[in-house]
Amino acid sequence: MKERFDEKGFGVEFSPDFKSLQWKNLMVNAVANPISATVRKKDEATHSKDMESTVEIIVDECLAVASLEGIEMDRKNALEFVRSIISKNS
């Protein structure tokens, strides 16, 4: 299937652990969207020291809910993932 995407010029990556990737992406949206909307700035607001604890609280809440769904993720890795994706989009 990857070949069909490649033929059309779409770079895709298939994840062997789709559920964890899905939760990581949900965390990015749970962090970036409400903060950006509240402060009326794109994702750069999530990088400020003032928002650091808010970002951590949101990620912790996502990790707790993911855990209830049977998805266990490392907090440090989750925070790094969220911050890296937001940095790319800023």
Domain residues of the chain, as ranges? 16-89
Query: Rounded to two decimals, what is the model's pTM?
Result: 0.76
For the segment 23-58, what is each residue's pLDDT rounded down to a tens digit? 999 999 999 888 877 777 665 666 677 788 999 999
Q: At 90, is the pLDDT very low, low, confident or very high (cuts 50, 70, 90)?
A: low
CB 55 within 8 A of CB 61: no
CA-to-CA dists, residue 13 to 19, 59, 71, angstroms: 14, 24, 21
